[in-house]
Amino acid sequence: MTMRTTARFSAAVALSLGLLAGCATTGEDDACTNAEQAIANAKATNAEAAALGNEWRDTGKIIKNAEKALAEDDCDKALALANQALAQAENAKAQAAAESQKFLDRTASDIDDSAAAGAGGMDNYTVVGGDNLWNISGKSSIYGDPYQWPLIFKANRSQIKDPDLIYPGQNFAIDRNASSSEIDAAINHARTRGAWSVGDVEQSDLDFLAR
């Protein structure tokens, strides 16, 4: 190999290595840019959920962890955490919208039916497949408000070990005699409890029962 050939080969190797390094750097920059945008989206969506009075308990903490990961240049972790926070915030907004729509869709007859059902003091509801405390509480024949599900949990504590996990065939008593303060406490717990997690009993649920 001549000196001229050797020089050309060395230049080609150097150019290739430079291009590879440039691609790697560009990829890292893209990941960090994506993470920054995802964090911004999560913050904005979570602020909207908070404005609706339905911010989930852990979302803000997840966003802070995403920002910490980004500051440490762990952009992949930051992106994953930001996307998790964004999903929670979107679910929180959807819950709030569902609750608002529920009230808008209720007719005068629904209200009358609910009042008639409440006259007996305690009703019963048998769980069917696909039920959860949220949608049971939201039925017009129960409370017409999904955020009152903790009342069902409290009235049936002997049957419900984890409010995220109920079974078809269970028969729940529906408390029609809850005071306004008990209803307010139930709604406040439902709004601040956080995400549903099957099999993981929330300490906040135990605290609610202890009141």
138, 174 contact by CB (below 8 A): no
8 vs 57, residue with greater confidence: 57
Compute the chain's Rg from CA coordinates. Answer: 27
* Higher local confidence (pLDDT), 66 or 15: 66
Q: What is the pLDDT of residues 141-179, one digit of tens each?
A: 899 999 999 999 999 999 998 888 899 999 999 988 889
Place of tokens 């959807």: 94
Residue 211 pLDDT greater than 50, yes or no: yes
Cite the DSSP H helix spans in the chain: 3-51, 59-71, 75-105, 108-118, 133-138, 149-155, 180-192, 203-210
Structure confidence at residue 135 as a pLDDT band (50, 70, 90)? very high
> What distance in Å separates the CA atoms of residue 7 and residue 11, rounded to the nearest whole number?
6
Give the pLDDT score at 103: 59
- Per residue in 86-103, pLDDT tens? 999 898 888 878 777 765
Q: Please check whether residue 73 is in contact with residue 116, taking contact to mean a CB–CB distance below 8 angstroms.
A: no
Of 130, 114, 202, the residue nearest 160 (C-alpha): 202
- At residue 65, does pLDDT exceed 90? yes
pLDDT of 19: 42
Q: How far is CA 88 from CA 21, 45, 164, 169, 207, in A?
A: 37, 9, 16, 30, 23
Segment 110-119, tens digit of pLDDT: 555 555 544 4
- Burial class for 81, CB neighbours closer than 10 Å (0-12, 13-18, 19+): buried
Q: 7 pLDDT exceeds 60?
A: no
Top pLDDT among 75 and 202 is at 75
Provide the percentage of residues in the chain whose pLDDT is more than 90. 39
C-beta atoms surrounding 106 within 10 Å: 15
| pLDDT-based confidence at residue 21 (cuts at 50, 70, 90) | very low
